[in-house]
Structure 1
Amino acid sequence: PGDYSSAAFLMVAGALAGKVSIEGLQKDSLQGDSDIVKILKEMGVSISQSVSEITVTKSQPEPASIDATNIPDIIPVLSVLASQAEGQTRIFNAERLRYKESNRLKSTIMELRKMGADLKESKDGIIINGPTKLHGAVINPHGDHRIAMACAVACLVSKHSVTINNIDCIKKSYPDFIDDMISLGTQIEYSTMINDRRNAK
């Protein structure tokens, strides 16, 4: 992907499960979600950046205080990463997430809790205690592409398989997400997926 909003999901996937390199991300980008680079570094993730490429390597994440003001789209996937950090992560200034494609605060908490994560809603954000061992669940993304993709990334550290219903909501922002996850070695089986192109295992 060429934008940080989409790339954030692959970057967290790399931090949790292996090495990922992403091309086409400008180092001097004005996108708010480019803050993902700074946040990952603050969380102890091994990350290197050139003029147009970022490489993220599997790391043990550390807890952090995350200001969501300029990064509402990547809070769900950062919550996944925080669930594996050793300690408490606080996400604040996240009130606007209640008015996205879903109530993104509640959706993030509800669906990640199904997988065993320890999250609770605060006055203006989320408090996450980790690390927790994630397990299989049936996920409802609430029609929110960011929730669907965040839970797909969480599958990488789940002990058992996870079913995500209505996954086609990802078409809104990142239609190649499943293909990109498969290219990273993720085992995915899907039906009624984007154009029903194939079954993947």
Structure 2
Amino acid sequence: MIVEVYPSKVKGTIEPPASKSYLHRAIISASIAKGTSIIHNVIYSDDVNATLDIFASLGVAVERYVDRLVITSKGIDSFTISTPINCNESGSTLRFVIPILSNQQEVYFKGKSSLMSRPMHIYEEIFSYQGLTYKKQNDSIVTRGKIKPGKFKIPGNISSQFISGLLFVLPLLNGDSEIEILGTLESSSYINMTIDVLESFGIFIKHKKNRFLVNGNQSYKPTEIFAENDFSQMAFFSVLGIINNDITIKGMNFNSFQPDKVIIDAIINIGGIVEKHSDIAIFKRSKTSDFTFDLSQSPDLAPILSVLASKSHGFSRLINGERLKIKESNRLLTTYNSLKQMGVRIIMGDDYLEIVGPNKFRGGEFDSYNDHRIAMMLAIAATVAESKTTITNAEAINKSYPNFYTDLESLGVKIKYIEE
């Protein structure tokens, strides 16, 4: 799909969708628990559907409604694995389910080529150390053997999804376990989110400094849970309000463990005008100054923060962005290429971006690189560009936010859709 986004003045109120990070964790926990769980506030993005489809294929009863999910399971021991586990393009899904579903039989995990090219060496090392089978091929991963309780030493500078994957399964094992983090743990708030969701399902993890202590022989309890709205998606509208015109965003939990809620303080710290009331935040058009932002804890903010830096006055730096290279695209490079094409004064280093602002955005034809956050970044920048912006492979947004363009339209953005 191709979309044309025209320069438009925005105004209005928006409610971002549910956090797909939160939904993954709730769906997995509900599928492991024996009984019926209800998850309120859902969005059926491609990634969320990948997780749902996997557990449905294992025998879990999944009832999908507009505003909620009803999941009924007989527990993890009832899972029947008879087909390849298709994770589509969801890195979270793949990294979460490998330790959960690996069994005495051979289990095939597959997905799109872009997914299988992502680093998975942590599990390979764990499986090898425990004498289990782990074979990574171009289009699949094959495992044989169940993870055993024990002590796991994991570098802190890798994706937190590996740690969450272990935290899902270790409480079920017949023995206690410990995860020791070597160095500084990046994206630590995502671990806190995992622990928070697990507690809702009756699973308890002890976190002491750089260690996670997990008692074995625990069991998941079915529950009713509400999925928080997504700060990662809110960030796009937050910046839109600052660079374009006032926007009200509702339905946010400002006490959330989501790491990307830092976008609010990041905006305030550079002169952005933000008003917070209960679960509402109002972002007002503002003149903002340069900044330095450490991406190690919130890498998903890189594209939209680059747009903010492009419109801020001075020399801004986004640093510690090594993990951007292993997202849906090499997001360090695709952010650089997109903004460079828009006329932004931008420099790319090994793990950083440097931007001198403010800049005017040129319109033109741009590719999303099949990356949902690049597509959304381009659409936000397009609203204040000098001419229309054409985005190819615009359907990439379906990975996390299928209603993104219609939500933009509700704020007054003119968008034209062209089917290829």
Is TM more than 0.5 here? yes
Specify the code of the residue in structure 1 equivalent to 2:341.
K
* Distance in 2 of aligned mates of 1:92 and 1:123: 10
Query: Is 1:158 aligned with 2:365?
Result: no
Offset of 1:187 from its aligned partner? Answer: 1.2
Residues 1:118 and 2:348 are matched in the alignment: no
In the alignment, does 2:303 pair up with 1:82? no
- Which deviations, in whole Å up to 9, do the C-alpha atoms of 1:105-151 show, x marking residues without a partner? 00000011111111111232100111111111211111100000001
- CA offset digits 1:35-70 (Å, max 9, x no partner): 001101112111111221111001112110101111
Q: How many residues align?
A: 193
From the CA coordinates, give the structure whose radius of gyration is larger.
2
Match of 1:24 among 237, 246, 251: 251
Deviation at 1:191, TM superposition (A): 2.0
1:65 corresponds, among 269, 273, 292, to 292
In structure 1, give the amino acid aligned to 2:412.
Answer: G
Alpha-carbon distance between aligned partners in 1 of 2:277 and 2:322, rounded to the nearest angstrom: 34
Aligned to 1:46: 273
2:363 counterpart residue number? 136
Q: Which has the higher contact order (CA 8 A, sep 6+)?
A: 2
The match for 1:171 is: 398
Q: Tell me the SS of whatever aligns to 1:21.
A: strand
1:13 aligns with 2:222: no
TM-score under structure 2 normalisation? 0.45
Gaps of 5+ in 1: 194-201
> Equivalent of 2:318, from 56, 76, 91?
91
Deviant stretches of 4+, over 2 Å: none
Which amino acid is 1:171 matched to?
A: N
TM-score (norm 1): 0.93
Alignment RMSD (CA, Å): 1.1
Whole-angstrom distance in 1 between the partners of 2:376 and 2:236: 7
Contact 1:16 1:156 in 2 (8 A): no
- Residue number in structure 1 paired with 2:58: none
Match of 1:106?
Answer: 333
Quote how far apart the aligned CAs of 1:156 are.
1.6
Which AA in structure 1 matches 2:392? N
Structure 2 gap ranges (5+): 1-15, 17-228
> Residue type matched to 2:346 in 1?
L
What percentage of residue pairs aligned between the two structures are identical?
A: 37
Residue matched to 1:146: 373
Task: Return the structure number with greater strand share.
Answer: 2
What corresponds to 1:181 in structure 2?
Answer: 408
Q: Is it true that 1:191 corresponds to 2:418 in the alignment?
A: yes
* Superposition deviation, residue 184 in structure 1: 1.0
1:27 and 1:37 map into 2 onto residues whose CA distance is 10
Question: 2: CA distance between counterparts of 1:174 and 1:117?
Answer: 26
